[in-house]
Structure 1
């Protein structure tokens, strides 16, 4: 009887471990770093069952009472010494034009502007239906999330005239 109980416990443990690994593949995080190199926020990303990714974001130290651009960038590097230029351009696996209002856009890294409250904190839930976490072509794990100083005009090429890069987070 002792061996039967031990087998059930081991099988149960294996099932829990398998479920945990499956959950890890469905979620990701990104820790944001500001221009000064200090950590200033986090995003939790969850793969949606039908495709796309839901991003829950909270980032501090941003300009208060202002709309700011929020994008996925192609490279998973957030070097504050280069003003986050290390994150490269916007993620664009289909070579579309930039902008939600562009005739031949948007590309996968384009997302709506987000509002920063009077406390300088951006709190948002954003869904990007053009990306996945791990697909070979549309996957964003290992890329970067970026918050810019200005709002995106949704038309200007190649980046919506979004301005300086204020906060960057590598998606892990």
Structure 2
């Protein structure tokens, strides 16, 4: 009887270990990619292209933007809905926030998954953007951004005002696919 108990115990331990390994692999990326083409909203001329590449626990974000206010910062966020159909992009919903955290500084652990660093434009209103973040995945799972939208706002995110950083109207929006 004791030997039978040990075998059952060993089987359950092995099953638990395999489940843990499976969960960990689901939370890490191995190069999965997604893209978004942002179109102008709210009467602006802002537009852009963004790529997301999942590498381990981090997501590398690269973007190229034009039509922004020169020498300025603009808020930039992943929003919960993949809907940019309204003229003001309000159809994209609020910031992507699967863990129901407060709005905050990206990568602080005290922020929405969709809180991204501000975009900084040059004297011509163009910007190249690079950030490495964690807290979301490049897939369609509960923490995944595929099928959601990415939005540029007119004003800089202050990273403290609730619920969205006081970043103003949405001036560009694109579906992440």
The two structures have a TM-score, normalised by structure 2, of 0.76
Determine which of 133, 140, 146 is the counterpart of 2:145: 140
Q: Residue 10 of structure 1 aligns with which residue?
A: none
How many aligned positions are there?
A: 147
Residue in structure 1 matching 2:154, options 130, 136, 149: 149
* Structure 1 residue aligned with 2:53: 46
The equivalent residue for 1:97 is 102
Establish whether residue 76 from structure 1 lines up as the match of residue 76 from structure 2: no
Q: Structure 1 runs of 4+ off > 2 angstroms? A: 36-40
Q: How far has the Cα of 1:126 moved from its partner?
A: 1.6
Residue 61 of structure 1 is matched in structure 2 by 67
Q: 2:77, 2:35 → 1: CA distance? A: 15
Q: Distance in 1 between matches of 2:138 and 2:122?
A: 29
Greater Cα radius of gyration, structure 1 or 2: 2
Per the alignment, in what secondary structure is the counterpart of residue 91 of structure 2? helix
Q: CA deviation at 1:136?
A: 1.6
Segments of structure 2 that go 5 or more residues without pairing to the other structure are 1-30
Equivalent in the alignment of 1:20: none
* 1:162 correspondence with 2:150: no
CA RMSD of aligned residues (A): 2.5
TM-score (norm 1): 0.78
For the residue of structure 2 that corresponds to 1:65, the secondary structure is coil
The CA deviation at 1:52 is: 2.6
Q: Is the 8 A contact 1:79 1:86 kept in 2?
A: yes
Indicate if the aligned counterparts of 1:41 and 1:58 stay in contact, CA closer than 8 A: yes
- For residues 71 and 154 of structure 1, what CA distance do their matches in structure 2 show? 11
More strand by share: 2
Structure 1: gaps spanning 5 or more residues:
1-24
The aligned counterpart of 2:132 is 127
